[in-house]
Structure 1
Amino acid sequence: MKHISILVPEGNSSLSNLEATHKMFNMTNDFLVGMGKEPAFKTQLVATHKDARLSNGIFTIIPDTTIAEVKQTDLVIIPAIHGNYEKVVETNKEFIPWIVKQYKNGAEVASLCIGAFLLASTGLLNGRNCATHWIAADEFRTMFPKVNLVDDKIITDEHGLYTSGGAYSSLNLNLYLVEKFAGREMAVLSSKVFEIDISRNSQSPFIIFKGQKSHEDSEILKVQEFIEKNFQEKLNVDDLCADMALSRRTFERRFKKATSNTIVEYMQRVKVEAAKKELETGRKNVNEVMYDVGYNDSKAFRDVFRKITDMTPLDYMNRYSKFAMDA
């Protein structure tokens, strides 16, 4: 039987994360018992001290035990914790050495959504891939430059460290863990009971590109603003370099350092974001939108759109167009 420690952090933690995770593992036990098998999990809510209480003003969660009492566990699950991320980490720093100790003793560790900030604070993610909510990507990169943030992924799995994308995509990670520890049959059954798409592996369709401007390179900011105002035109990287009186190599290096994108990737993301908005709210077809955002080659447009959103333009329009929803 696997011992699962679901952390009960201090602060504004996600009660939905805690409740859904607790229920999914315990319901798997119910399925197994109903099939005449032994339960797979012992699940406990674990806090730093006995008087810890987590409340959203409507419901209160009382932990089962404390980190001092849990000498060994098999899986640590960190829920999302909302608020100022540096303060969240500081408030919950007592968990950090315990998480590291458990991992070194053989436990695996999973973070849900922005729970990745607490997991990254342990140093265990340095040099490894990590997913979190796309809306927190800039802050995460600033705080943890040694971690490879893959903000388009729903799930990462590296060396017993698991992370998930934003919000309710944590359910996909829970399913993934159920499958790993209790088998595919239990995961499929859970996906049907909880009505979760077991095959979903990307949060790209949900990302709203915000321009990555939380840096202090004023010249690069001007280039970003120029791109965003003129994305419909055919932009030339060499012309942008000349305007800044920089070599292409220096310009590319500064742009990537400031935005975490190459200049070409940035242009593509700006164009695709504009296309997404048109597909969501307008009545134009895909080809008309393609021309509006500066593409003339339908294959090139489709390939770039799919690379960024993990969907074709037509699939995106059919799923998110307000007119399709009204039909």
Structure 2
Amino acid sequence: MKHISILVPKGAILGSLEGSRQLLTQVNDFFRQKDEPPVFNVQLVGLSKETPVSGGIFTVNTDVTLKDVTKTDLIIIPAIDGDLQQAIEKNRDFIPWIIEQYKGGAEVASLCLGAFLMAATGIVNGKRCATHWMAENAFKRMYPEVELVREKIITDEKGIYSSGGAFSYLNLILHLIGKFAGREMAILAAKVFAIEIGRESQSSFVIFRGQKDHEDEPVKKAQEFIENNVTERISVEDLAAKFAIGRRNFERRFKKATNNTPVEYIQRVKIEVAKMTLESSRKNVNEVMYDVGYSDTKAFRSVFKKITGLSPVDYRNKYNKELAFN
């Protein structure tokens, strides 16, 4: 039987915590219905027996506290809420225990913003990790040694797992069920809980806002220029010359400040405007393409799919509010 420790951090988001527990314990019920023994021993593990979560609205009564668990097989870290640096400080006592368990052979999974607490242990350094797309810039700033993958719903690497934003944690739990209880059980759980199994990308959900929480004023002005001139074809050379900075130095400073190269930033700004137009208007794809400064259909579609995971037509069909009710 696999021992699963679902952590109950102070300020955890109740949904990912209880949703995980419910899915995993339901799998045990599936086995019991077949007159087979359960496969998971699921425990809620806290720093104390009672832990306030979801901004103090709820209190979770844990099964055990950290000192009671000397060995576990899988640690699940649910999403945490509020100021992330403060949340990590409040839950710092989990960190040495997670490290010890990982070194002893336990696997570790983070759900959404739980990635911040997992990354604070250092066990993800040099590995891939996913989290909520809204926290991308903060994560890169706090944990530059971790390879953040913005597009992935799930990562699975050397006993470390993570999931993307919000309710995509359900896909990671299904992935873990499939891995440890079999594909048949994962499919059954997906059907019973009406979860779309097999989702791999969160790219189509991302809203690009640009990273402006930095002190490099010429780079900020370059960002604003890009955002205010979406219809124009802007080159890196033009931007560097406009702000009187050598190209290589400009590219270095831009990447350091924004976590994007200038070309990536230009592309993401243009595609974000294209997405909003496809969501809210009846313009066809070519009209939208011209509106954001592209003249090459193949290039536009290639960049659009790279950033969103969908073709422009598929994106429009999925998100356009007028088409949705026709």
Same fold (TM over 0.5): yes
TM tier relative to shorter chain: over 0.9
Give yes or no for contact 1:75–1:107 (8 Å, CA) kept in 2: yes
Shift of 1:90: 0.3
Determine the structure 2 residue equivalent to 1:132: 131
Determine the structure 2 residue equivalent to 1:3: 3
Helix, strand or coil at the partner of 1:68: helix
Shift of 1:35: 1.9
Shift of 1:249: 1.6
Alpha-carbon distance in 1 for matches of 2:276, 2:53: 38
Give yes or no for contact 2:137–2:259 (8 Å, CA) kept in 1: no
Determine the structure 2 residue equivalent to 1:90: 89
Alpha-carbon distance in 2 for matches of 1:135, 1:37: 42
User: How is 1:140-289 mapped onto 2 (pairs within 5 angstroms)?
Assistant: 140-289=139-288
Q: Which sits farther off after the overlay, 190-199 or 128-137? A: 190-199
Helix, strand or coil at the partner of 1:7: strand
- TM-score computed with the length of structure 2 as normaliser: 0.97
Q: 1:112 to 1:62 in 2, by over 3 A?
A: same
- The CA deviation string for residues 247-284 of structure 1, in whole angstroms up to 9 with x for no partner, is 22221111111111111111110010000000011111
Helix, strand or coil at the partner of 1:81: coil
Alpha-carbon distance in 1 for matches of 2:55, 2:247: 52
Determine the structure 2 residue equivalent to 1:119: 118
Which consecutive segments of 4 or more residues in structure 1 shift more than 3 A? 51-60
Determine the structure 1 residue equivalent to 2:49: 50
Helix, strand or coil at the partner of 2:302: helix
Alpha-carbon distance in 1 for matches of 2:215, 2:54: 38
Alpha-carbon distance in 1 for matches of 2:92, 2:288: 49
Helix, strand or coil at the partner of 1:239: helix
- The CA deviation string for residues 225-263 of structure 1, in whole angstroms up to 9 with x for no partner, is 001111211112211121222222221111111111111
Alpha-carbon distance in 2 for matches of 1:222, 1:45: 49
Shift of 1:129: 1.0
Q: Which sits farther off after the overlay, 225-234 or 27-36? A: 27-36
Shift of 1:18: 1.2
- TM-score computed with the length of structure 1 as normaliser: 0.97
Aligned AA (1:159): K
- The CA deviation string for residues 47-102 of structure 1, in whole angstroms up to 9 with x for no partner, is 01234344666653210001100110000000111011110000000100000011
Determine the structure 1 residue equivalent to 2:80: 81
Alpha-carbon distance in 1 for matches of 2:248, 2:199: 38
Q: Which sits farther off after the overlay, 241-250 or 204-213? A: 241-250
Aligned AA (2:279): E
- Provide structure 2 residue ranges, at least 5 long, that are not aligned to the other structure: none
Give yes or no for contact 2:54–2:81 (8 Å, CA) kept in 1: no
Alpha-carbon distance in 2 for matches of 1:110, 1:188: 20
Alpha-carbon distance in 2 for matches of 1:137, 1:115: 13
Give yes or no for contact 1:153–1:164 (8 Å, CA) kept in 2: yes
Shift of 1:177: 0.5
Helix, strand or coil at the partner of 1:156: strand
Give yes or no for contact 2:51–2:59 (8 Å, CA) kept in 1: no
Q: 1:57 to 1:100 in 2, by over 3 A?
A: closer
How many residue pairs get matched?
A: 326
Determine the structure 1 residue equivalent to 2:98: 99
Alpha-carbon distance in 2 for matches of 1:295, 1:256: 23
Alpha-carbon distance in 1 for matches of 2:142, 2:291: 37
Alpha-carbon distance in 2 for matches of 1:211, 1:51: 40
Alpha-carbon distance in 2 for matches of 1:249, 1:59: 52
Alpha-carbon distance in 2 for matches of 1:98, 1:293: 50
- The CA deviation string for residues 143-174 of structure 1, in whole angstroms up to 9 with x for no partner, is 11111111221111111011110100000000
Percent of aligned pairs sharing the same letter = 58
Alpha-carbon distance in 2 for matches of 1:169, 1:7: 18
